[in-house]
């Protein structure tokens, strides 16, 4: 082979292989990888609940901090406004939460965005954790993405993850015999599980911790996770608020875009703080943390967003946290929700 | 900016190539200017803070070289300038690289309490210092090519070699800058192929071995007591392969990138684990450092001209300095000393065995023994401290045991896709580890190296300044799918983790 043919063939072969790879990428979606399958059912149930509620309603949007820390059932009763907890998982990108909320938002609604603190600093890169979730149970996310987002997703997907997904696909029968839950549930299946799980305890939390699980049979009909009784005495991490706090431009753009969307359809968007455990490093660095939280509030306010919380509203003792320093337990969320009642 | 980064591959390199060949019609001076600017941009991509140091060093040595060249050959004045300039170079290197080591040892030896300076090592300082001192010595000996400032700047900072070698020799490089290069497929094709092979070696092979080695060496550094002899062997062998594939990958990528500019840089690697003796090993491993140490240190010390005793003394001194060059630490000095000792034993053995003809069995025995000696020395080279190296070597000398649970878990996590575990396949970590090491051995002992794969006749058989264009392109059909696959798999593997630094960047 002449050097000239080599150079041309190398470029052509590389390009063809890359294109073939990109076009065949969707074939590995739905592989039974180890992932958080409960999020799939949880999101389907929440979306159904939110769509079924008549507007004007209040939607709470955020990661698992929102899922655990707001009692929308209590809020609904106290305020007379239907509220739904749309909180999912902080590993999902901010845009994912916004797109999720958009599916249920209607004119006259209010959306309360309560991002975990890491979201303000996060760029648009698809994390390995998120890629894993999409490959395992959210093929729709990839299929509905724009060409640019798809290209970015493919570029961000590690080679080893592809190998894992392909092998999981090949051995899917064996894997699903062992892990029966590793498949993307349909809405009907999710609702069936949800309803069966809550026939007897729909309106109140069970008094015992043992019934808690990360599953969509463990959410009430407002989307709150339930049975978060007691505390594992988790340690606080500092939430990335101890050192200097630098916003990520991409995160700010996402928030601004969502605000613009809400304005365009007549939805009121407000923001709040996620709960903070007043213990350990937080206690020792309270001044720096409060200063950074003030910075977040000022920044959001400067973007024309109403910020409903002050830093002092979201500091809670360790005993109010369930299994992590972002998840309030049943007592903690009662306190938090009581505070929110007068703000909504 | 790393060779194994998207920025380098898809932005920096293509822009440099376009600019380099676009100015071809303006002559070699314009092309070399492009190389110099590109190299400075490349260096700034690492750390802007040390750009003044690099430029100051280049300017100092260029002026000193000019001044030496103006004097009569080997005159007293020329010698004074040479000593002054080399002293400055060594002082700068000593300050940045060895000051903290010196202070720590003074503190330890005399119970003093001098503050450690925590100096950050400027990237490539060892390489550009050696490159320039060789230039000064050759200028003093009347062997300089008398480059102009731009040529000299490009020679020292030429980005394919700047950070981790090879150590360029002005006599090989500057004449190539002076002749310029038009874009030709006969340069681009082997350049692309070598770069692709290097990328694969780095991100797929070296980084995989590195992940295993890191876990085990870190455990020793933390004083873990639960590691077995098998863990220690696995760690030592994994590092042996990591360093080999990492450094040879860097060299392949450097040579490949340079070929795309129509410039040969010297080979630094020639299948060193195929060496049948330690002497042979040093002719194949970091060849340009060996050449430098031989020409500018060993021979300057007297070489073998004053009998065997002085020869062995010079060998030990040269290798100790070679060890110290790699890093300011006792582990590096011991590594150098061990290799010095190996070389002495090898020379003694040669003297005793005379000119016996080598048999295939003898060659393999030599290869195995050399490999083992090299592995043992690498344990010091990689360890955080002498004590952790000694405890690792003690474990290696202990009775055979299986892998400890922690290391077995790491091996499975790194080497076996989770899907296979989930599917219920029973995978033995010991077998996986053994297979991984066997694959490493198979590649280093039985496979052709990159330059053998790419070239039918090696251009490096010629003096580089006179080497013909690489027309003797390989006719192997497998090279196209091999290098394309290597490139694509390398790119895909790059996604898994941010591009890892090459090990030799630390030296």
> What whole-number distance in Å separates Cα of residue B204 and Cα of residue B199?
8
Higher pLDDT, A70 or B117: A70
Closest approach of chain A CAs to the CA of B422, in angstroms? 6
Q: Is residue A17 part of a domain?
A: no
Q: Is residue A64 part of a domain?
A: yes
- Closest partner residue to B419 (CB to CB) among A17, A155, A167 is A167
Lowest mean pLDDT across A101-105, A115-119, B470-474: B470-474
Q: What residues form DSSP beta bridges with A113?
A: A61, A271
Across the interface, do B422 and A9 touch by the CB < 8 Å criterion? no
Q: Is residue A222 part of a domain?
A: no
Tokens of A123: 């760029």
- The pLDDT, as a whole number, for residue B504 is 57
How would residue B111 be classed by pLDDT, with cut points 50, 70 and 90?
Answer: confident
Across the interface, do A167 and B417 touch by the CB < 8 Å criterion? yes
Closest approach of chain B CAs to the CA of A264, in angstroms? 38
Q: What is the CATH number of the domain that holds A321?
A: 3.40.50.1110
B201, B358, B502 from B198: Cα distances, Å? 5, 33, 12
How would residue B382 be classed by pLDDT, with cut points 50, 70 and 90?
Answer: very high
Task: Locate the chain B residue with the closest alpha carbon to A175.
Answer: B423
Q: Is residue A119 part of a domain?
A: yes
Say whether residue A129 is in contact with chain B using an 8 A CB cutoff.
Answer: no
Cβ-Cβ pairs closer than 8 A, A with B, add up to 97
Closest approach of chain A CAs to the CA of B397, in angstroms? 35
- Closest partner residue to A158 (CB to CB) among B192, B483, B496 is B496
Quick check: A333 and A243 in contact, CB under 8 A? no
Nearest to B436 by CA among B237, B271, B275, B244: B237
Q: What is the pTM of this model?
A: 0.82
Lowest mean pLDDT across A9-18, B218-227, B496-505: B496-505
> What whole-number distance in Å separates Cα of residue A105 and Cα of residue A111?
8
pLDDT digits (tens, 9 = 90+) for B238-281: 999 999 999 999 999 999 999 999 999 999 989 999 999 999 99
Tell me how crowded residue B507 is: count the other CB atoms within 10 A of its CB.
20
pLDDT digits (tens, 9 = 90+) for B303-338: 888 888 899 999 999 999 999 989 889 999 999 999
Say whether residue A14 is in contact with chain B using an 8 A CB cutoff.
Answer: yes
Tokens of B344: 């002495």
Nearest to A43 by CA among A94, A2, A75, A89: A89
Q: Is residue A296 part of a domain?
A: yes
- The pLDDT, as a whole number, for residue A186 is 94
- Average confidence score pLDDT of chain B: 89
Reported as type and span, the H/E element at residue B150 is: helix B149-157
pLDDT digits (tens, 9 = 90+) for A27-53: 999 999 999 999 999 999 999 999 999
Across the interface, do B423 and A164 touch by the CB < 8 Å criterion? no
- Cα end-to-end distance, chain B, whole Å: 17
B161 in catalytic set: no
Quick check: A90 and A119 in contact, CB under 8 A? yes
Mean pLDDT (whole number) for B123-129: 88
Quick check: A326 and A64 in contact, CB under 8 A? yes
Specify the residue for token string 């070389």: B343
- The pLDDT, as a whole number, for residue B245 is 94
Among B422, B459, B499, most A C-beta atoms within 10 A, so best to mutate, is: B422
**In which domain, by residue range, is A285 found?**
38-127+230-341
Task: Locate the chain A residue with the closest alpha carbon to B413.
Answer: A160
Closest approach of chain B CAs to the CA of A138, in angstroms? 18
Domain tally, chain A:
1
Q: Taking CB atoms and an 8 Å cutoff, what residues of chain B touch A174? A: 423-424
From the list B161, B169, B326, B347, the catalytic residue is: B326
Q: Taking CB atoms and an 8 Å cutoff, what residues of chain B touch A159? A: 489, 492-493, 495-496
Tokens of B295: 């020409």
Q: Is residue A109 part of a domain?
A: yes
Across the interface, do A158 and B495 touch by the CB < 8 Å criterion? yes
Helix axis angle for B207-221 and B405-415, nearest 10°, is 160
Closest approach of chain A CAs to the CA of B493, in angstroms? 5
Q: Is residue A333 part of a domain?
A: yes
Q: Is residue A299 part of a domain?
A: yes
- Closest partner residue to A175 (CB to CB) among B422, B477, B484 is B422
With 50 as the cut, is the pLDDT of residue A202 above it?
A: no
With 80 as the cut, is the pLDDT of residue A133 above it?
A: yes
Among B10, B477, B484, B491, most A C-beta atoms within 10 A, so best to mutate, is: B484
């Amino acid at each position: 082979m002449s050097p000239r043919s080599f150079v041309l063939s190398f470029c052509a072969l590389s390009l063809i292989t890359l294109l073939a790879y990109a076009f065949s990428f969707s074939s590995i979606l739905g592989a039974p990888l180890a992932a958080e399958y409960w999020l799939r059912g949880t999101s389907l149930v929440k979306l159904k609940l939110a769509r079924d509620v008549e507007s004007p309603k209040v939607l709470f949007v955020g990661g698992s901090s929102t899922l655990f820390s707001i009692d929308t059932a209590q809020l609904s009763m106290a305020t007379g406004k239907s509220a739904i907890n749309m909180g999912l998982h902080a590993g999902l990108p901010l845009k994912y939460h916004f797109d999720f909320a958009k599916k249920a938002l209607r004119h006259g609604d209010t959306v309360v965005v309560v991002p975990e603190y890491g979201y303000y600093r996060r760029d648009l890169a698809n994390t390995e954790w998120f890629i894993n979730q999409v490959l395992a149970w959210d093929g729709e996310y990839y299929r509905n993405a724009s060409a640019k987002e798809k290209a970015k997703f493919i570029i961000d997907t590690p080679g080893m993850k592809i190998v894992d997904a392909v092998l999981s696909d090949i051995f899917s029968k064996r894997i699903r015999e062992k892990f029966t839950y590793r498949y993307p549930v349909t809405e009907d299946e999710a609702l069936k599980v949800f309803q069966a799980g809550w026939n007897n305890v729909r309106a109140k939390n069970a008094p015992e911790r043992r019934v808690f699980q990360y599953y969509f049979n463990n959410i009430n009909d407002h989307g709150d996770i339930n049975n978060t009784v007691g505390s594992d005495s988790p340690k606080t991490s500092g939430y990335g608020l101890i050192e200097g706090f630098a916003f990520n431009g991409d995160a700010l753009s996402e928030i601004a875009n969502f605000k613009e969307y809400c304005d365009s359809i007549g939805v009121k968007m407000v923001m709040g703080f996620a709960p903070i455990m007043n213990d350990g490093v937080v206690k020792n660095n309270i001044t720096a943390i409060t200063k950074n939280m003030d910075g977040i509030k000022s920044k959001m306010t400067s973007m024309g967003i109403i910020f409903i919380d002050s830093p002092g509203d979201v500091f809670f003792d360790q005993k109010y946290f369930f299994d992590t320093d972002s998840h309030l337990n049943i007592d903690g969320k009662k306190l938090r929700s009581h505070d929110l009642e007068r703000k909504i | 900016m790393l060779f194994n980064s998207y920025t380098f591959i898809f932005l920096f390199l293509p822009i440099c190539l376009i600019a380099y060949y676009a100015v071809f019609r303006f002559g070699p001076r314009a092309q070399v200017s492009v190389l110099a600017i590109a190299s400075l941009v490349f260096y700034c991509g690492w750390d802007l803070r040390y750009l003044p140091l690099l430029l100051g060093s280049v300017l100092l040595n260029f002026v000193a070289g000019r001044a030496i060249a103006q004097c009569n050959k080997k005159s007293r004045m020329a010698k004074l300038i040479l000593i002054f300039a080399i002293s400055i170079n060594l002082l700068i290197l000593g300050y940045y690289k060895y000051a903290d080591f010196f202070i720590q040892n003074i503190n330890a030896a005399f119970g003093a309490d001098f503050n450690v300076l925590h100096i950050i090592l400027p990237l490539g300082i060892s390489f550009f210092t050696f490159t320039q001192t060789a230039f000064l010595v050759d200028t003093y000996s009347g062997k300089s090519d008398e480059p102009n400032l731009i040529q000299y700047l490009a020679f020292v900072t030429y980005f394919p070699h700047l950070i981790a070698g090879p150590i360029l020799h002005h006599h090989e490089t500057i004449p190539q800058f002076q002749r310029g290069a038009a874009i030709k497929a006969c340069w681009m094709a082997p350049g692309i192929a070598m770069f692709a092979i290097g990328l694969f070696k780095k991100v797929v092979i070296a980084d995989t071995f590195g992940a295993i080695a890191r876990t085990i060496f870190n455990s020793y550094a933390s004083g873990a007591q639960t590691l077995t002899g098998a863990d220690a062997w696995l760690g030592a062998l994994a590092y042996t392969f990591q360093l080999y594939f990492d450094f040879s990958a860097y060299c392949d990528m450097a040579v490949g990138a340079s070929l795309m500019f129509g410039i040969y840089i010297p080979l630094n690697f020639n299948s060193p684990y195929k060496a049948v003796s330690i002497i042979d090993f040093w002719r194949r491993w970091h060849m340009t450092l060996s050449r430098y140490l031989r020409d500018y240190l060993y021979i300057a010390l007297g070489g073998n001209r004053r009998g065997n005793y002085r020869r062995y003394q010079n060998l030990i001194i040269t290798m100790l300095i070679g060890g110290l060059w790699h890093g300011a630490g006792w582990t590096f000095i011991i590594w150098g000393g061990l290799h010095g000792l190996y070389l002495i034993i090898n020379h003694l053995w040669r003297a005793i065995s005379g000119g016996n003809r080598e048999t295939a069995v003898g060659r393999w025995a030599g290869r195995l023994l050399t490999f083992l000696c090299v592995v043992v020395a690498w344990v010091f080279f990689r360890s955080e401290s002498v004590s952790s190296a000694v405890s690792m070597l003690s474990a290696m000398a202990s009775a055979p045991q299986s892998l400890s649970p922690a290391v077995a878990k790491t091996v499975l996590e790194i080497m076996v896709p989770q899907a296979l575990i989930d599917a219920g396949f029973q995978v033995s970590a010991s077998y996986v580890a053994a297979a991984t090491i066997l694959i490493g051995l198979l590649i280093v002992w039985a496979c052709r190296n990159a330059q053998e794969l790419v070239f039918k006749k090696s251009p490096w058989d010629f003096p580089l300044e006179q080497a013909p264009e690489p027309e003797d392109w390989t006719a192997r059909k497998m090279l196209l799918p091999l290098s394309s696959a290597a490139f694509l798999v390398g790119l895909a593997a790059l996604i898994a983790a941010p591009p890892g630094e090459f090990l030799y960047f630390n030296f």
